[in-house]
Structure 1
Amino acid sequence: MSQRVSKSKFKAQALEFFRLIESSGESVVITDHGVPKFEVRTFLLQTKKPLDVQYGSVLHFDYPTNPVAENDWEIA
Structure 2
Amino acid sequence: MPAVIHVEVTEIRQNLPSWLERVRGGEEVAIIDRGRVMARLVPPVDRRAEARRALEELRARARVGDVESPVGEAWSAADDPP
Question: Match for residue 39 of structure 2?
Answer: 38
**Which amino acid is 1:31 matched to?**
I
Q: Which has the larger radius of gyration?
A: 2
**How far apart, CA to CA, are the structure 2 residues paired with 1:34 and 1:6?**
8
Q: CA deviation at 1:22?
A: 1.5
**Identity of paired residues, percent?**
14
Question: Match for residue 24 of structure 2?
Answer: 22
Question: Match for residue 14 of structure 2?
Answer: 12
**How far apart, CA to CA, are the structure 2 residues paired with 1:26 and 1:8?**
19
The TM-score with structure 2 as length reference comes to 0.54
How many matched pairs? Answer: 53
If each structure's helix is expressed as a fraction of its own residues, which one has the higher value? 2
Question: Match for residue 59 of structure 2?
Answer: none
Q: CA deviation at 1:46?
A: 1.4
Q: CA deviation at 1:27?
A: 0.3
Where does structure 1 differ by over 4 angstroms across 4 or more consecutive aligned residues?
A: none
Q: Give 3-state SS (helix, strand or coil) of 1:29's partner.
A: strand
Structure 1 unaligned regions, length at least 5: 49-61, 66-71
**Which amino acid is 1:18 matched to?**
L
Q: Give 3-state SS (helix, strand or coil) of 2:47's partner.
A: coil
Name the Cα RMSD after superposition: 2.4
**How far apart, CA to CA, are the structure 1 residues paired with 2:27 and 2:19?**
10
